[in-house]
Amino acid sequence: MKREEKNMLKRQQIISSAIAEFGVNSYTEASLNAICKNGNISKGIIYHYFKDKDELYLVCVTECFDRLTTFLNSEKITFNNVEQGIEKYLDLRHQFFKANPDFSNIFTNALLQPPKHLVERIKEIKVGLDKFNINFYEQVLKNVNLKSYVCHEEAIEYFLIFQESFNFHFQNKTYGDFTKLFDEHELKLGKLLKIMFYGIAKEETE
């Protein structure tokens, strides 16, 4: 086996062990010692491939968001019916996190309770998912008759405000269990998306 291949395998071994650790603990609670123990890796090897805990955590967050976005993009969502489109989108998220349970904790921690010193870097990492969400919203809008006082550009602006406010709501709540936080976030996301769309939809009598 070539040295490059060995390095790649060792690096992936570290990442896999880190995903397992960050998959059950927040950034603060997770430890390099646990990653070493669970992955049968020396701390020196970790520092050979990664500068520090921050870098290793961000690599795990990147893998989580990139794989989620890739999965969402791989499935076709039809938009002929607004409610069915939303349900399909939420079902795809459910499928992904059910198949990758460690990522649900990493996703929740990074999106809703991020380490304060890494907030800006996490924003950069989730740009791809943000673009997907905006595109999803725009596709739904094509099948919605907007209220007379709401233009397309305003609808997009309201969606961005909604997204930021929705996540901010969870960032300012204390949770001891990220599983509970994740479940509550996904449940309310579905309900609020429908409220968001039907709140701007043109009524039949208008």
Higher pLDDT, 83 or 70: 70
| Mean per-residue pLDDT, 170-199 | 78
The whole-chain average pLDDT of the chain stands at: 88
Topology adopted by domain 54-200: Tetracycline Repressor; domain 2 (1.10.357)
pLDDT digits (tens, 9 = 90+) for 10-26: 999 999 999 999 999 99
Q: Whole-angstrom Cα distance, residue 91 to residue 136?
A: 14
**19-24 LR contacts (CB < 8 Å, sep 24+):** 19/60, 19/63, 19/64, 19/102, 19/103, 19/106, 20/102, 22/57, 22/60, 22/102, 22/105, 22/106, 22/109, 23/101, 23/102, 23/103, 23/104, 23/105, 23/106, 24/102, 24/105
The reported pLDDT for the residue numbered 160 is 86
The reported pLDDT for the residue numbered 93 is 94
The reported pLDDT for the residue numbered 169 is 80
pTM of the model as a whole: 0.88
Question: Where does residue 77 rank: exposed (0-12), middle (13-18), buried (19+ CB within 10 A)?
Answer: middle
The reported pLDDT for the residue numbered 189 is 87
Q: Residue 80: which H helix or E strand, with range?
A: none
Q: Whole-angstrom Cα distance, residue 110 to residue 65?
A: 10
Torsion of CA 197, 76, 71, 154, to 10 degrees: -30
The residue type of 83 is E
* 2, 57, 109 from 167: Cα distances, Å: 45, 20, 11
Task: Say whether pLDDT at 204 is over 80.
Answer: no
pLDDT digits (tens, 9 = 90+) for 97-132: 999 999 999 999 999 889 999 999 999 999 999 999
- Residue % of the chain over a pLDDT of 90: 54
Domain boundaries, the chain: 54-200
Q: Whole-angstrom Cα distance, residue 190 to residue 206?
A: 26
